[in-house]
Amino acid sequence: SKTYKIAILPGDGTGPEVIREGIKIIETVAKKNDFKLDFTDYDLGGKRYLKTGEILPDSVTEEFKKFDAMYLGAIGHPDVKPGILERGILLKLRFELDQYINLRPVKLYPNVETPLKDKKPEDIDMIIVRENTEGLYTGAGGFLKKDTPQEVAIQESINTRFGVERCIRYAFKLTQNRAKNNKLTLCGKTNVLTYASDLWQRTFNAVAKEYLQLTSDYVNVDAACMWFVKNPEWFDVVVTDNLFGDIITDLAAIIQGGMGIAAGGNINPEGVSMFEPMGGSAPKYTGLNIINPIATINAGAMMLETIGESKAAKDIDNAVIKALGSGKIKSMSAGKMGLSTTEVGDLIASLI
Amino acid sequence: SKTYKIAILPGDGTGPEVIREGIKIIETVAKKNDFKLDFTDYDLGGKRYLKTGEILPDSVTEEFKKFDAMYLGAIGHPDVKPGILERGILLKLRFELDQYINLRPVKLYPNVETPLKDKKPEDIDMIIVRENTEGLYTGAGGFLKKDTPQEVAIQESINTRFGVERCIRYAFKLTQNRAKNNKLTLCGKTNVLTYASDLWQRTFNAVAKEYLQLTSDYVNVDAACMWFVKNPEWFDVVVTDNLFGDIITDLAAIIQGGMGIAAGGNINPEGVSMFEPMGGSAPKYTGLNIINPIATINAGAMMLETIGESKAAKDIDNAVIKALGSGKIKSMSAGKMGLSTTEVGDLIASLI
Ligand SMILES: CC(C)[C@H](C(=O)O)[C@@H](O)C(=O)O
Ligand SMILES: CC(C)[C@H](C(=O)O)[C@@H](O)C(=O)O
């Protein structure tokens, strides 16, 4: 039977608690589906940085390339200045490992509460494909006359045809394989970003010609935020740049029930990919065994799907749906689940 | 009695229909409050562009400077390529007339339906202050190797201490004059936009020292979108850059009940300001007398407030609240109001 090497990055705060349940679940489906998982732990994050001053050694990034996948809890520490860990670990991994797709399935599960009126599971079911290595995330830019009244701060969005096209091609392929409407919507701001969004639109239109059986669509990012709230059922697959993706995936997470359930993947289709819950390290809940592990469990399912174990991924998804359908989990919010973190993990494991 | 010179820009589509009701209302309160309004019509927009090829002559922009305010219906035509009119009229006016504040009061009126569960009028009551002349809206950037596989598209966000500071100062002053929580929240993306958002944050922190009696707060734009939907009651005044402002004001418009009710001002506190409904020209409803004029009427109230007729502005606001409270207007959406555009205007006029 096959063995997959998985790098585990439990991280900070409640990261280790959710990753523990995630591992419980993927081990359960591995046994059932007759494959093996070989875990290696990596201690990265704020705690380690505060102790050793080390953020992410280059040698570690190199090591990750030898794994089949990476599984992350959460990175973030209240005593570390915002930006250091995000850029030093999360964004660095995306860039160095060329994880050029950020994949965010957005699905309202049965019994999960959305803050939107009158929306049912069939109304909220889309996938967002976010470019993950370019745009305003490159860090390009600079200051002129810093700290004077004449200061100018410039931030540059850099977009390449190469980077945009591989992302759009990924999105079209994904759309073709979806059951739903088979519609791909490009989200941009063409009426204002006359260079960046123009490249996106030209590339989108060119690739669309190879997928004439699919519906191709365009929406401005400001309008997209409105329709996500008012008519989420209009969307099937959405493709967008790095910053717009950051914004609309968080909005999408809240409409699908919040950080307790939203999972994402940083994907390099030709290399190693990393899977994570969308929530942060939630310092105030650390060690209390009350954080929701379902997002991490969903990320585990995405991971297995990506490494080729679709049946096992489906088993997790079915067990999550059954667990939610049982009504035993009262809320998606930390401390309000009616069950502990461990009990939610056990419940899902028992349904596999 | 005082006379104010108002430039009227009815524009395209349903623009003339809503501006007609807006004029009806501001004339009614002018009579009541003993001041005069002197209107001059300007024919700008897609219809004119298609007929004459002219978008916005420089001489017209110059003329606008002599007015006390500008009142806009809507610009946008289905036969004109997206971007031309937006950049050629709307954005050009903002830049040339240095309307450096985009002001968006966000208020859930009684009897207006929000798409959010369990939110009442007291939960949705904030003001968004958007910088309106800098950032990614400058049009700076370019292409390298355009239309080749090696193409690079760069879009630049340019931010000056001068532009950021005047916007932040405006927001602090506004916050001080608000009854609510007296909290100003800066919305940015400091963990990624290390130049642009950094300038914003340093400037914000510096000005905050002059307003120690107010609460100053920070939120990342992605999180802001989540909290607008989940906990809009957390916000009082929000200040942000041009592009983030574009996104969060549209999201805010939908949670307050949509384009039928959302109004905004493009404000030059030392010059001429322009007021408008947030919705577009809604071509498919043109001429049917079924579009909702309330957003335009609200924009009229903002206009009177800004030129110094606060009492008249308050009269409009009260009449709108009474009209909505009457239950006679069934929905905020075009064609579903249960009344015509004219009837909604008449109803509000009758309540002044
Ligand atoms: C932590 C932060 C740098 C990151 C981003 O902005 O991409 C996060 O918000 C995300 O969406 O994964
Ligand atoms: C029409 C468009 C250029 C404009 C903008 O992006 O600012 C609009 O969306 C707005 O918010 O006023």
Strand partners, A82: none
Q: Pull the structure tokens for residue A285.
A: 């809940």
Q: Are residues A148 and A236 in the same domain?
A: yes
Q: Are residues A164 and A45 in the same domain?
A: no
Please spell the DSSP secondary structure of A202-253, one letter per residue.
Answer: HHHHHHHTT-TTSEEEEEEHHHHHHHHHH-GGG-SEEEE-HHHHHHHHHHHH
Gap between the Cα atoms of B93 and B7, Å rounded: 13
Domain boundary, last residue among A256, A287, A309: A256
Q: Are residues A250 and A286 in the same domain?
A: no
Domain boundary, last residue among A256, A291, A318: A256
Cβ distance B158 to A137 less than 8 Å, yes or no, reads no
H-type alpha helices, B154-195: 161-176
Q: Is the pLDDT of residue A12 over 90?
A: yes
Q: Average of pLDDT values for A94-112?
A: 97
In a domain, A269, yes or no: no
Strand partners, A125: A107
Among left, alpha and beta (phi > 0; psi -120 to 50; other), residue B335 is left
**A272-328 confidence digits (pLDDT tens):** 999 999 999 999 999 999 999 999 999 999 999 999 999 999 999 999 999 999 999
**B73-113 confidence digits (pLDDT tens):** 999 999 999 899 999 999 999 999 999 999 999 999 999 99
Amino acid at B259: M
Among left, alpha and beta (phi > 0; psi -120 to 50; other), residue B168 is alpha
Cβ distance A191 to B86 less than 8 Å, yes or no, reads yes
Using a CB-CB distance cutoff of 8 angstroms, which residues of chain A are in contact with residue B91? 192
By CA distance, what is A257's nearest residue in B? B230
Write the DSSP symbol of residue B74. Answer: E
A53 contact B CB<8A: no
pLDDT at position A300 is: 98
In a domain, A160, yes or no: yes
Domain of B36, CATH number, reads 3.40.718.10
**Closest-CA residue to B18 (of B352, B351, B348, B350):** B348
**Mutation choice for A interface testing from B195, B219, B278, B331 by most A CBs within 10 A:** B195
In contact, A132 and A94? CB cutoff 8 Å: yes
**B326-335 confidence digits (pLDDT tens):** 999 999 999 9
Q: Is the pLDDT of residue B180 over 90?
A: no
Mark A247-260 as b/e (b = at least 16 C-beta within 10 Å). bbbbbbbbbbbbbb
Please spell the DSSP secondary structure of A84-141, one letter per residue.
Answer: HHIIIIIIHHHHHTT--EEEEEEE--TTPPPSBTT--GGGSEEEEEEE-SSBGGG--E
Q: Is the pLDDT of residue A1 over 90?
A: no
Domain boundary, last residue among A256, A283, A305: A256
Sign of the CA dihedral with A241 first, then B218, A264, and A270 last = positive
C-alpha to C-alpha distances, A307 to A170, A349, A351, B212, nearest whole angstrom: 16, 21, 23, 54
Spacing, Cα B223 to ligand 1 middle (Å):
10
Number of domains in chain A: 2
Residue tagged 């850099």 (tokens): A158
Amino acid at B212: L
Its domain, for residue A2, covers 1-103+274-352
Gap between the Cα atoms of A78 and A299, Å rounded: 24
Gap between the Cα atoms of B52 and A24, Å rounded: 70
For residue A187, what is the enclosing H or E element? strand A183-188
**A193-220 confidence digits (pLDDT tens):** 999 999 999 999 999 999 999 999 999 9
For residue B188, what is the enclosing H or E element? strand B183-188
Q: Pull the structure tokens for residue B176.
A: 């001080």
For residue B256, what is the enclosing H or E element? none
Gap between the Cα atoms of A226 and A219, Å rounded: 11
In contact, B193 and B220? CB cutoff 8 Å: no
Q: Is the pLDDT of residue B159 over 90?
A: yes
pLDDT at position A180 is: 81
| Among protein residues, the one whose CA lies closest to atom 11 of ligand 2 | B246
Mark B286-310 as b/e (b = at least 16 C-beta within 10 Å). beebbbbbbbbbbbbbbbbbbbebe
Amino acid at B296: T
Using a CB-CB distance cutoff of 8 angstroms, which residues of chain A are in contact with residue B255? 229
In a domain, A20, yes or no: yes
Among left, alpha and beta (phi > 0; psi -120 to 50; other), residue A119 is beta
Which of residues 131 through 150 in chain A touch B, CB cutoff 8 A?
Answer: 136-137, 139, 141-143, 147-150
| Among protein residues, the one whose CA lies closest to atom 7 of ligand 1 | A246
In a domain, A321, yes or no: yes
Min Cα separation A232/chain B (Å): 11
Q: Are residues A190 and A220 in the same domain?
A: yes
pLDDT at position B87 is: 95
Q: Are residues A170 and A208 in the same domain?
A: yes
Q: Are residues A128 and A243 in the same domain?
A: yes
Q: Are residues A194 and A69 in the same domain?
A: no
Q: Average of pLDDT values for B293-311?
A: 98
Nearest ligand to the C-alpha of residue B82?
Answer: 2
In contact, A156 and A143? CB cutoff 8 Å: no
Q: Pull the structure tokens for residue A243.
A: 């910053």
Residue tagged 């201490």 (tokens): B161
Beta strand B101-107 with B69-74 is unpaired
Cβ distance B155 to A193 less than 8 Å, yes or no, reads yes
Residue B288 φ then ψ, to 5°: -90, -10
Q: Are residues A60 and A118 in the same domain?
A: no
**B198-241 confidence digits (pLDDT tens):** 999 999 999 999 999 999 999 999 999 999 999 999 999 999 99
The CA-based diameter of chain A, rounded to the nearest angstrom, is 66
Q: Are residues A119 and A99 in the same domain?
A: no
Spacing, Cα A192 to ligand 2 middle (Å):
8
